[in-house]
Amino acid sequence: MIIRTILFAILSLIIFGRCAQTVTPTGGKKDSIAPVLIQSIPVSKTLNFKGDRIELFFDEYVVIDNINQKLVITPEADNPYSYKLNGESVVLNFKKKFKDSTTYTLNFGDAIKDFAEKNPAKNLKIVFSTGASLDSGRVYGTLRDVKTSKPLFDALVGLYNISDTLNIAKQKPYYFSRTDSSGRFSIENVQIRKYRLIAIEDKNRNMLYNAKDERVGFLNDSISAASDSVSYSINMALSDVTPMKIQRTIPKVNNYTVVFNKGVEKANVSFTTPDTLPYILENSQLKFFNLQPHSDTVQVKLVVTDSLGTDSTFNQKISFMPQRGKERQRDPFSMTVRPEQNKPLSNNFSYFLQFSKPVALLDTNSITLISDSLTRKPLKEIPHEWNKFHNQLTISGKATSKDTIKWEFPKGSIISVEGDTLVKMLMKHPLLNEEDYGKLTGTVLNIDSSMHVIVELVDEQFKVLKTSYTYPYKFEYIPEGRYYLRVTLDRNNNKRWDSGRFDEGKQPETILYLPDKMLIKSNFELNDINISVPK
């Protein structure tokens, strides 16, 4: 009987033990309520605060998330602190007292969150003064990218003390704020006096301007921070004012490449020795080609222009690697076309050929334009023009096609400076059907007749589709889709947008957008789409 009882007890434990496995409870409402600050020491807007400790008390357990990055203290205190989390409270212990007679703002952003669902405390900010009154000045406004007109999020907007030696690459702002997702900023409780208002993208959050890859925006004149301050609008632009440098060189047997630290808009090469070499410009690189005979070292003077129009001069020795073996291994010779193969082409066309090397020979008799396999016209009868480096050919002309346009390039019709050629190629393009595309016409209003403009149609990714340097403008062959229309006020008539220079107080050239995105439909024309220039 005893044995039977023991066996029954063991069996019961096994059965009911399996039934009692731990499971995650289901149901229950998710906590979506942010923690609420119920008390702070000091209380916000306290006067004559002399302490070095800040305490915050919440209505629930909280956690701290990257407070060293997210806590913004203005004016910049240069006062290191440590922090401690005690369940429902957070304590900040500062290394030293705060500066006398100064109003401080501690903006915590989303650095403090509830324990369960990580909901951040909203609008968590403490303001106190170490003097007898709170500063009441305020500066607010919006930031936008000048090229896209889109608001900039999390950019740094600073008030700087006015100085003849102000260098935002080395000096942090006295007061600052960061923009929200709508590009809005507000700097509050500042001393009422004059400042320089400057915004930087501040990607690395070090509060210093890095001209290489950070956008900047500024007002030329100083501003007065007052309690009834006006709203400021600042346009941001990338303006790389770093000096042009030769970053490295790449010597090979067949070519020698000079690589610069940023993009090159123009390049002029003067050979200071009797020898000359063919060369091409590719973005930030100048590539020289090794054509015998020449001396072991070729001396050149390089004058390169960056996107800001700044010229830089370099004296460079071109020295190729010695050849090993009887045969030289050449880089491939290639050609790309625009429009691309199988893309529609109009009978009234502009056609672009891009080569990987300078071209020494172009046989305009054998290269042929073919309309519907019936009409053949040699390139010599069609207007065409080389670029400076002889590696890009622009062809502008007319075809008589009703269906297909072809370009025939026989083998040997194009020979590079290195003596290599291309295989036989046949580029086919269907005839562009006008009914598949839309049209757009309009003008620029309220503009001085002496002002030059650039009218552009850009897609939703701000890629330029059509450009006109005159107005009224007319854009044809627009694929169906949604587009923006914008106008650049081209101050110096160089037919490109200039980004300005902070170091010289030059604002970026103004870009105006039509307020609404346009829907362009196939076989449809939009007329009188005008942009007005504010007076």
186 touches 107 (CB < 8 A): no
**From the centroid of its chain, how far is CA 303?**
27
Among candidate residues 170, 180, 73, the one with its CA nearest the CA of residue 128: 73
- HEC sequence for 322-381: CCCCCCCCCCCCCEEEECCCCCCECCEEEEEEEECCCEEEECCCCCEEEECCCEEEEHHH
Rounded Cα distance, 74 and 487, in Å: 39
426 in Cβ contact with 441 (< 8 Å): no
Instruction: Give which of 108, 96, 87 is closest to 53, Cα–Cα.
Output: 96
| Per-residue tokens: 81 | 């602190």
By the 10 Å C-beta count (0-12 exposed, 13-18 middle, 19+ buried), 184 is classed as middle
Maximum alpha-carbon separation in the chain = 118
Question: Tokens 């056609």 label which residue?
Answer: 351
> What fold, for 335-432?
Immunoglobulin-like (2.60.40)
Q: Assign 90 to helix, strand or coil.
A: strand
pLDDT at res. 295 = 82
Spell out the domain ranges in the chain.
Answer: 37-129, 137-238, 246-319, 335-432, 435-532
435, 445 Cβ separation under 8 angstroms: no
Vertex 404 angle, CA 403 and 408, to 5°: 160
Burial zone of 298 (CB within 10 Å; 0-12 exposed, 13-18 middle, 19+ buried): buried
User: What does CATH list as the number for 37-129?
Assistant: 2.60.40.1220
Fold matches, 37-129 and 246-319 = yes
- Residue 115 sits at φ, ψ, to 5 deg, of -70, -40
Nearest partner of 486 among 518, 438, 520, 523, judged by Cα = 518
In this prediction, residue 225 carries a pLDDT of 86
Q: What is the CATH number of domain 435-532?
A: 2.60.40.1120
pLDDT at 17: 45
Nearest to 39 by CA among 90, 112, 108: 90
Q: Which of 256, 272, 273 is nearest to 322 (CA)?
A: 256
Residue of 108, 123, 101 whose CA lies nearest to 47? 101
pTM for this model (two decimals): 0.79
Q: Give the pLDDT of residue 6.
A: 45
Tell me which of 2.40.30.110, 3.40.630.10, 3.30.70.270, 2.60.40.1220 is the CATH number of domain 246-319: 2.60.40.1220
CA distances from 214 to 201, 243, 262 (A): 5, 15, 14
Helix (H, G, I), strand (E, B) or coil at 471: coil
- Residue identified by tokens 């009911």 is 16
- C-alpha distance across the termini of the chain, in Å: 107
Secondary structure in 3-state letters for 145-168: ECCCCCECCCCEEEEECCCCCCCC
Centroid of chain to Cα 249: 27
pLDDT in tens, the chain (535 residues): 444 544 444 444 444 444 444 344 445 556 678 999 999 999 999 999 999 999 999 999 999 999 988 898 989 878 999 999 999 999 999 999 999 999 999 989 889 999 988 999 988 999 999 999 999 999 999 999 999 999 999 999 999 999 888 999 999 899 998 999 999 999 989 999 999 999 999 998 888 999 999 999 999 999 988 877 789 999 999 999 999 999 999 999 999 999 999 999 999 999 988 889 999 999 999 999 998 778 888 999 999 999 888 999 999 999 999 888 777 778 999 999 999 999 999 999 999 999 999 999 999 999 999 999 889 999 999 999 999 999 999 999 999 999 999 999 999 999 999 999 999 999 999 999 999 999 999 999 999 888 999 999 999 999 999 999 999 999 999 999 999 999 999 999 999 999 999 989 999 999 999 999 999 999 999 999 999 998 8
How many CA atoms does the CB half-sphere of 212 hold within 13 Å? 8
* pLDDT at residue number 7: 44
Q: Quick one: fold of 137-238? A: Immunoglobulin-like (2.60.40)
